[in-house]
């Protein structure tokens, strides 16, 4: 008698921990039941994947979805839909909303808001302040919390711990790996007067290399002092990568598609405020160094730092324009284009977007195509050519810095826990996202 599955993905090139292989995947319920030759098996649905690559579901471990408080530019529902259309199966959302996610009640409020509205699986960061350090141990143990986020330099919102004493106090009380926006607020305060009115080219002058290097050097010293793991977000400088290369025992490293694809001053001359983000996009030498570090294994994770603002806000003259840009929907086609152009291997892309998050954050059942894991897949056509447009990008903000980008490699299906969410560019299942599970906070058996 032949085996029966709920879903079989047949004939695709599957990217497993062992490499690329031609195989079928059998799914029962929410999990991968079998990988191999399933030509004799039957299923409730068979998805023909010949000519396609089946990747582990892409996980975006840094997004800002703006809810609560800024729903006019983005919300959990619209941005999760944008994620699913881009081939992303799970997102970790940042705490700088209004109000900020600084109490257990606020974290639970986000989880409640997400239920039945977010198309993709999700987790939320607890935001650290000087006033809530005593609450962080409780928050990081909550189901659906991906860890603690610390802003050492001010970005969007009012979360900030700029002093060494505050950072050390946070690291001492928590057990999980904390994520850091690493820019030195003291130096940023000194340099704000260097902003040239209406000239976005001065943004990386205000937020200069030394602001990043100084902060990351301080952060590594404090992490070693207390013996804690840290995750350093959106590294933008060549100098930081050299420092972080010698700190792999305690520090994991994130890189963004924006810093790997755009370069100053051209991006500011062309995009103006739409190229403004923190830390800034810098000159070509930094981009070259980021690529070298990525392929040398220094970089562990790729996030998008999806951070929407309205077109009207971004059009304000610098420095009144806010920092941040959408990106959760464009990561896959942009990075697959880099794969096709020989900048990185497909296996390395998978390491950065699924295996890396699984290892760094301790995901309980996501991050690889292996029997017993969640049936999360990003199905892509590596040969498909498309042009990224604002019409395709479905973030509520209505724009993308990659307008007109000619991509080679495109997401054609997003499958989350065995069910299609996006198929052929259309959302086919709404609001089914669930909280991500982590090894360090598994719920007790009932």
- This prediction's pTM: 0.98
pLDDT at residue 7 in the model: 98
User: Residue 56's pLDDT is what?
Assistant: 98
pLDDT of residue 155: 59
pLDDT average per 10 residues of sequence, the chain (446 residues): 91 94 98 97 98 98 98 98 98 97 98 98 98 97 98 78 97 98 97 98 98 98 98 98 98 98 98 98 98 98 98 98 98 98 98 98 97 98 98 97 98 98 98 98 86
Q: In a 10 Å sphere around its CB, with 0-12 CB exposed, 13-18 middle and 19+ buried, how is residue 19 labelled?
A: exposed
The pLDDT score that the predictor gives to residue 208 is 98
pLDDT for the residue numbered 445: 79
Q: Is 18 exposed, middle or buried (0-12, 13-18, 19+ CB in 10 A)?
A: exposed
Beta carbons within 8 Å of 139's beta carbon, 6+ residues apart: 103, 104, 107, 126, 145, 148
pLDDT computed for residue 348 by the predictor? 97
**Catalytic residue check, 305:** yes
Contact 375, 6 (CB under 8 A): no
Q: State the chain's mean pLDDT as an integer.
A: 97
Q: Exactly one of 305, 365, 376, 381 is catalytic; name it.
A: 305
Report pLDDT for 1: 55
283-308 as b/e: b if 16+ CB within 10 A: eeebbebbbebbeeebbbbbbbbbbb
The predicted pLDDT at position 156 comes to 54
Q: Which structural domains are found in the chain, ordered by start?
A: 57-361 (3.20.20.140)
All residues at 6 or more sequence positions from 350 whose CB lies less than 8 Å from its CB, including other chains: 15, 55, 56
């Amino acid at each position: 008698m032949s085996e029966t599955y709920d879903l079989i993905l047949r004939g695709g090139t599957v990217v497993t921990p062992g490499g690329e292989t031609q195989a079928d995947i059998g799914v029962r319920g929410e999990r991968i039941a079998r990988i191999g030759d399933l030509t004799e098996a039957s299923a409730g649905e068979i998805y023909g994947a010949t000519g396609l690559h089946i990747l582990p579901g892409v996980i975006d471990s840094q997004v800002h979805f703006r809810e609560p408080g800024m729903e006019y530019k983005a919300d959990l529902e619209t941005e999760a839909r944008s994620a699913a259309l881009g081939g992303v199966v799970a997102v970790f959302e940042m705490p700088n909303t209004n109000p900020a996610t600084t109490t257990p009640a606020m974290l639970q409020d986000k989880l409640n808001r997400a239920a039945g509205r977010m198309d993709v699986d999700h987790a939320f960061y607890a935001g650290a302040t000087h006033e809530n350090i005593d609450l962080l141990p409780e928050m990081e143990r909550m189901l659906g919390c991906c860890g603690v986020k610390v802003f050492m330099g001010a970005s969007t919102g009012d979360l900030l711990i700029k002093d060494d004493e505050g950072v050390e106090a946070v690291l001492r009380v928590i057990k999980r790996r904390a994520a850091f926006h690493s820019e030195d607020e003291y130096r940023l305060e000194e340099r704000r007067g260097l902003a040239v009115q209406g000239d976005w080219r001065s943004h990386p002058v205000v937020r200069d290399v030394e602001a990043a290097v100084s902060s990351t050097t301080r952060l590594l010293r404090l992490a070693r002092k207390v013996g804690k793991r840290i995750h350093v977000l959106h590294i933008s400088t060549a100098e930081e990568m050299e420092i972080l290369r010698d700190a792999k025992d305690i520090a994991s490293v994130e890189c963004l598609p924006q810093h790997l694809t755009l370069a100053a001053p051209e991006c500011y001359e062309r995009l103006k405020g739409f190229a403004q983000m923190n830390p800034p996009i810098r000159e070509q030498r930094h981009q070259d160094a980021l690529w070298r570090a990525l392929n040398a294994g220094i970089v562990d994770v790729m996030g998008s730092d999806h951070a929407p603002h309205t077109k009207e806000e971004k059009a304000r003259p610098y420095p009144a324009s806010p920092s941040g840009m959408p990106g959760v929907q464009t990561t896959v086609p942009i990075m697959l284009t880099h794969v096709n152009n020989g900048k990185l291997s497909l296996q390395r892309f998978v390491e950065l977007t699924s295996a890396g998050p699984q290892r760094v954050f301790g995901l309980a059942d996501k991050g690889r195509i292996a029997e017993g894991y969640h049936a999360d897949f990003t199905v892509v056509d590596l040969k498909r050519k498309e042009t990224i447009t604002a019409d395709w990008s479905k973030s509520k903000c209505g724009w993308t810095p990659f307008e007109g980008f000619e991509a080679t490699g495109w997401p054609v299906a997003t499958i989350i826990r065995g069910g299609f969410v996006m198929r052929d560019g259309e959302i086919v299942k709404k609001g089914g996202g669930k909280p991500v599970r982590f090894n360090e906070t598994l719920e007790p058996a009932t």
